[in-house]
Amino acid sequence: LARGAAEPDLAGRHVVVSAGGTREPLDPVRYLGNRSSGKQGYALARTAAARGARVTLVEANTGMPDPAGVDVVRVGTALQLREAVLKAAADADVVVMAAAVADFRPAAYAEGKIKKREGEEPAPVALVRNPDVLAELSADRARPGQVVVGFAAETDDVLANGRDKLRRKGCDLLVVNEVGERRTFGSEENEAVVLGSDGTETPVPHGPKEDLADTVWDLVVPRLP
């Protein structure tokens, strides 16, 4: 389908997409972050809107402007993202977790800037686990038949790790892409395999992130009740 002339096959549906990467603060000036640009999540939000969906985009630290016709909720940390996604998911037909959610956050937040001291080694940074939003969404569907989609970035044994992750998370579809220094992060293009809980495997050739987004919606639509 030519872009801009999409079939309105998501009309009447509420779609929630998370995008970007969470930042976990250490002190008022520092955080633990990741290299997610948010471009894939934004492409998902734009294409869903073009296909007629009402879209809620939960955005973490992308610095990108709001896409036209999309409700944007801005968050910073994994805990804030979890709260915003669960709230929006309450009446959603589809939830797509494209955001890179930090697995860990600093165990303590220093109210004042952490200072170095002459002749002293730095203290190690203690971390605690963040909740797994995708696993939680998949286990407790807010609505019967709600379709839940995850993303996985892998550097090794991409398909085997992807299959394993799909099972562990309990989602319906998992978009698996191989990552490395020059691949995926910040790029305009992507290449992936979409794994289905029904055992299907849909390869998506290297191309614009919009094309991968449209393939995701093509796979979501027939799964909707």
- If the CB atoms of residues 14 and 82 are measured against ligand CTP, the closer one turns out to be 82
Instruction: State the binding partner of 133 from Ca ion, ligand CTP, none, CB within 5 to 8 A by kind.
Output: ligand CTP
DSSP classification of residue 5:
S
Q: What DSSP string runs through 32-77? A: E-----SHHHHHHHHHHHHTT-EEEEEEES--PPPPTT-EEEEE-S
Instruction: State the binding partner of 73 from ligand CTP, Ca ion, none, CB within 5 to 8 A by kind.
Output: none
Instruction: State the binding partner of 53 from Ca ion, ligand CTP, none, CB within 5 to 8 A by kind.
Output: none
**Tokens at residue 75, please?**
């968050």
Tally of CA atoms within 13 A in the half-sphere of 145 that contains its CB? 7
**Most distant CA pair in the chain: distance in Å?**
65
Give, as ranges, the residues between 137 and 176 that touch ligand CTP (CB under 6 A): 150-153, 165
- If the CB atoms of residues 155 and 200 are measured against ligand CTP, the closer one turns out to be 155
Give, as ranges, the residues between 81 and 110 that touch Ca ion (CB under 5 A): 103
Number of residues that bind ligand CTP (CB under 6 A): 14
Give, as ranges, the residues between 76 and 95 that touch ligand CTP (CB under 6 A): 78
CA distance linking residue 195 with residue 166, whole number of Å:
8
- CA-closest candidate to residue 220, choices 17, 66, 74: 17
User: Candidates 34-42, 69-77, 127-135, 211-219 — which segment interacts with ligand CTP by CB under 6 A?
Assistant: 127-135
User: What length does the chain have?
Assistant: 225
Q: Is 169 annotated as a binding residue?
A: yes
The one-letter amino acid at 139: A
How far apart are CB 103 and Ca ion at their closest, in Å?
4
Active site residue 161: no
- CA-closest candidate to residue 162, choices 128, 203, 124, 132: 203
Give the residue ranges of the annotated binding site for CTP.
103, 113, 131-134, 151, 165, 169
Residues of this chain that interact with ligand CTP (CB under 6 A) are: 78, 97, 99, 101, 103, 130, 132-134, 150-153, 165
